[in-house]
C-alpha cells in the first residue's frame, strides 16, 4: 500500500480554495435574517473531520498545530458556548427527540495518522474533549510490517482507546478509492477490517467512515448491512433527526479549510432537511452532474426563496425550482478535477441577536471518474 493510496487527493482541496474563499467573504458580509426555526433545530449537531494534525512538513493534507490549538481554545474559551460530545450522545438525543444545546459539536479524526497521538491526543485530554478516531486496520497492519512510524500501531491505538474520552471507529481495511469495486470485494474488505479490529481491540466497531468520503450504491448497501450505528462521509452539512444514518455529513478541516472564522461559522450551522436527494452517492456518471433535492415541508415558502448554492470550480450555478418544493441545480461547466463540491445554504436567525451569520447547510461531494 503506497503513501499515495492514503493521502487525500491534493488537487481536490486546491480546486475548492477559490470556492471557499468566495463563500466565506459572502457570509462575512451578511447578517442572517430572521428565517423560521424548525423542529430539527432542536437537536442539531455539527461533526468535524480532521486528518493530519501538525507535522507541517509532511505531504498529507491536514491542519497546523497552531490552527488546531486555536480551534480547541475557541471551544473551551467561554464556558457553555460550545458543547463537544461523543457521537453516541447526540445520536441518542436525536433518537429520543431530546433537545441539544446550540453549538453541539463532535470531533473525529481520520486515517490512522500517528500525528494524532503526538499532537492532537494530548491537547484533547488536557481540555477534556471527547473524540472519535477512525482507524484503518489495513494501514496499521502494513505500517507495522514495514516499520512505518507515520501510521499508528495497534499498541498505540489500544493506548488511545483506554481514554474515557475516546471512541474508536473503523474505516476500510485497504484505505482505497471506491471506483468500480464489486460488492464482493467491498464486503470482503469490510469483513477483514472488522475481524482485525475485533482481534486487536477486543471490541466491535460501532461507527464507520467511508475512505475519502466516497460512496456508490453498492458501497452504501454493503455498509448498511454491517450493523454500524452510523457511518460518515465527507460531504459538508449538519446532522439532524432526518439525516440518513448510513452517510452522515462532516465538515472537513484540512489545509485551506482550517481557519477559525470557518470553524465558528460552521459550528453555528443548522440542518437543511431534504428528500429525494440526487445523486444519492458521490461517484457521478455524467460531468457536470445534475443534482437535485426536495425541500422538507418544515421549511416555509418565504425561506425557499432564500436558497443559494455554490459549487467548486463552476463558473455559474443556476437553481431551478420545479413544482412546489423540488429544486434542481444546473452547472455552466463540468468539474475539471477528480472531485468537486456543491453547498446549498439558507440564512437563519442568529443566536440572541448576535452578528454571526447562521445557515442551514446541505452539501454534495462529487467524485469524477476518469474519462468524464
- What backbone phi and psi angles, to 5 degrees, belong to 360? -75, 145
Q: Chain-wide mean pLDDT for the chain?
A: 89
Distance CA 212, CA 4 (A): 12
Q: pLDDT-derived band of residue 55, with 50, 70 and 90 as boundaries?
A: confident
Q: pLDDT-derived band of residue 31, with 50, 70 and 90 as boundaries?
A: very low
Pick from 32-36, 82-86, 178-182 the range whose average pLDDT is largest: 82-86
Section 248-275 average pLDDT: 93
25, pLDDT greater than 60? no
Section 104-122 average pLDDT: 96
What the chain holds in terms of domains, given with CATH numbers, is 3-12+41-270 (3.20.20.370), 276-367 (2.60.40)
pTM above 0.85, yes or no: yes
Q: Which stretch of 7-11, 130-134, 363-367 has the lowest confidence by average pLDDT?
A: 7-11
Beta strands in the chain (DSSP E): 46-50, 52-53, 62-63, 83-84, 104-109, 131-135, 166-170, 207-209, 230-232, 251-253, 270-271, 274-278, 292-295, 308-311, 317-322, 326-331, 339-348, 358-367
pLDDT at position 8? 42
Section 286-311 average pLDDT: 95
Higher pLDDT, 19 or 220: 220
Section 41-61 average pLDDT: 90
Section 93-107 average pLDDT: 96
Q: At CA 105, angle to CA 67 and CA 276, rounded to 5?
A: 115
Q: Express each pLDDT in 305-356 by its tens digit.
A: 999 999 998 989 999 999 899 999 999 999 999 999 999 999 987 765 566 7
Q: pLDDT-derived band of residue 59, with 50, 70 and 90 as boundaries?
A: confident
pLDDT at position 352? 57
Spell 34-58 as b/e; 16+ CB within 10 A means b: ebeebebbebbbbbbbbbbbbbeee
Could you tell me the sign of the dihedral formed by the alpha carbons of 192, 142, 205, 361, in that order?
Answer: negative
Section 158-183 average pLDDT: 95
Amino acid at each position: 500500500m503506497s503513501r499515495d493510496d492514503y493521502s487525500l487527493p491534493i488537487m481536490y482541496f486546491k480546486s475548492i480554495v477559490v470556492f471557499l474563499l468566495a463563500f466565506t467573504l459572502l457570509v462575512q458580509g451578511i447578517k442572517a435574517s430572521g428565517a423560521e426555526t424548525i423542529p430539527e433545530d432542536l437537536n442539531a449537531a455539527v461533526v468535524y473531520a480532521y486528518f493530519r494534525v501538525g507535522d507541517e512538513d509532511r505531504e498529507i493534507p491536514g491542519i497546523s498545530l497552531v490552527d488546531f490549538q486555536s480551534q480547541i481554545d475557541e471551544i473551551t474559551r467561554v464556558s457553555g458556548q460550545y458543547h463537544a460530545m461523543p457521537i453516541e450522545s447526540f445520536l441518542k438525543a436525536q433518537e429520543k427527540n431530546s433537545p441539544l444545546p446550540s453549538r453541539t459539536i463532535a470531533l473525529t479524526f481520520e486515517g490512522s495518522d500517528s500525528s494524532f497521538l503526538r499532537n492532537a491526543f494530548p491537547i484533547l485530554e488536557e481540555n477534556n474533549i471527547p473524540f472519535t478516531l477512525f482507524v484503518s486496520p489495513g494501514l496499521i497492519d502494513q505500517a507495522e510490517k514495514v516499520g512505518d512510524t507515520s501510521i499508528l500501531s495497534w499498541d498505540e491505538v489500544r493506548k488511545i482507546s483506554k481514554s474515557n474520552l475516546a471512541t474508536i471507529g473503523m474505516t476500510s481495511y485497504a484505505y482505497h478509492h471506491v471506483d468500480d469495486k464489486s460488492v464482493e470485494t467491498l464486503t470482503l474488505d469490510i469483513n477483514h477490517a472488522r475481524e482485525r479490529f475485533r482481534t486487536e481491540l477486543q471490541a466491535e466497531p460501532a461507527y464507520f467512515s467511508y475512505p475519502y468520503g466516497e460512496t456508490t450504491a453498492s458501497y452504501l448497501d454493503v455498509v448498511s448491512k454491517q450493523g454500524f450505528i452510523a457511518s460518515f462521509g465527507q460531504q459538508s452539512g449538519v446532522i439532524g433527526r432526518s439525516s440518513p444514518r448510513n452517510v452522515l455529513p462532516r465538515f472537513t478541516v484540512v489545509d485551506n479549510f482550517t481557519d477559525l472564522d470557518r470553524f465558528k461559522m460552521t459550528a453555528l450551522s443548522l440542518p437543511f432537511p431534504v428528500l429525494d436527494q440526487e445523486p444519492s452517492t458521490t461517484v457521478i456518471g455524467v460531468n457536470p452532474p445534475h443534482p437535485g433535492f426536495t425541500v422538507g415541508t418544515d421549511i416555509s415558502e418565504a425561506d425557499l426563496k432564500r436558497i443559494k448554492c455554490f459549487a467548486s470550480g463552476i463558473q455559474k450555478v443556476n437553481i431551478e425550482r420545479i413544482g412546489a418544493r423540488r429544486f434542481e441545480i444546473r452547472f455552466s461547466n463540468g468539474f475539471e478535477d477528480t472531485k468537486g463540491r456543491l453547498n446549498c445554504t439558507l440564512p437563519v436567525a442568529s443566536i440572541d441577536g448576535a452578528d454571526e451569520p447562521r445557515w442551514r447547510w446541505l452539501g454534495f461531494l462529487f467524485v469524477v471518474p476518469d474519462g468524464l
